[in-house]
């Protein structure tokens, strides 16, 4: 199960998920259940959109169930003698229990290992993230970033690129609702000017910039000509650098 959920294999099965509803059963309740399984299993991979990272595992769970049901259908169809061996209800329950135990034991060991790793990490201890734990260096980095941004005189701030978690942790509202990570490529000049006009009205305005992060996200394309980038360059100066992040105040 761990191998199945940690690779792209379940997503290869996605185009064949409809097979679970093509069993030809004459029992309406079973057919409804199969249709529901197919529908949810096809939609569930959207959990991994737009960034397929740790979301891949939960997005793959039902595809593994679909594969198991289709495998059972195949055994009944092509190996009727083998399927007749497990007609006994108790035998089916026993076999199912053995298979479930074989899957759950490795997952239980892995969960215990993850638990030990979690306890060994440092709590972030920021608003809304009290249970989030990182290594000591990362936790210290974000705490140092948020501390000046959360001061009462700082009403809001700009980020380059979009770092929306900082608003949440500092408990400050962003200048506008135009909040995307890659605003340098997703928002046009007009939207960027709207953001600047809204932000510029706040006397306690700061900016957070990470040039290395921007360069990696824009794949090296120039971005200095963008309106909001120009405003940040022209109207702010760096007062503190923390591991690649620049805390900036008005000139």
Helix axes 56-78, 28-43, angle to 10 degrees: 140
CA atoms within 13 A on the CB side of 173: 7
CB atoms within 10 A of CB 88: 10
pTM for the whole structure: 0.65
Structural domain spans, the chain: 2-85, 137-250
pLDDT by residue for the chain (251 residues), tens digit each?
A: 343 444 455 667 778 788 888 776 778 888 888 888 888 888 877 765 555 566 666 777 788 788 888 877 777 777 666 556 556 667 767 777 777 777 678 778 878 888 899 999 999 999 989 899 999 999 999 999 999 999 999 999 999 999 999 999 999 999 998 888 888 888 899 999 999 999 999 988 999 999 888 888 777 778 888 999 999 999 999 999 999 999 999 98
What one-character DSSP code corresponds to residue 12? H
CA pair distance 218, 180, nearest whole angstrom: 14
């Amino acid at each position: 199960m761990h191998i199945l959920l940690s690779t792209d294999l379940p997503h290869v099965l996605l185009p064949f998920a409809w097979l679970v509803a093509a069993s030809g059963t004459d029992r309406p309740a079973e057919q409804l259940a199969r249709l529901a399984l197919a529908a949810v299993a096809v939609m569930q991979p959207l959990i991994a959109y737009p960034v397929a990272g740790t979301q891949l595992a939960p997005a793959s769970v039902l595809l593994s169930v679909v594969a198991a049901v289709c495998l059972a259908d195949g055994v009944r169809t092509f190996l009727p003698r083998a399927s007749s061996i497990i007609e006994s209800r108790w035998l089916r329950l026993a076999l199912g229990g053995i298979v479930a135990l074989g899957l759950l034991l490795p997952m239980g060991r892995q969960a215990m290992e993850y638990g030990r790793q979690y306890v060994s990490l440092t709590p972030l201890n920021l608003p809304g993230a009290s249970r989030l734990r990182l290594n000591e260096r990362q936790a210290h980095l974000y705490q140092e970033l948020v501390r000046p941004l959360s001061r009462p005189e700082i009403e809001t701030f700009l980020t380059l690129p979009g770092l929306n978690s900082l608003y949440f942790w500092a408990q400050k509202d962003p200048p506008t609702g135009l909040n995307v990570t890659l605003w340098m490529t997703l928002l046009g000049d007009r939207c960027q000017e709207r953001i600047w006009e809204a932000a510029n009205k706040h006397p306690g305005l700061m900016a957070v910039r990470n040039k290395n992060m921007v360069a990696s996200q824009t794949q090296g394309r120039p971005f200095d000509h963008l309106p909001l980038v120009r405003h940040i360059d022209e109207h702010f100066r760096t007062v503190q650098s923390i591991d690649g992040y620049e805390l900036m105040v008005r000139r």
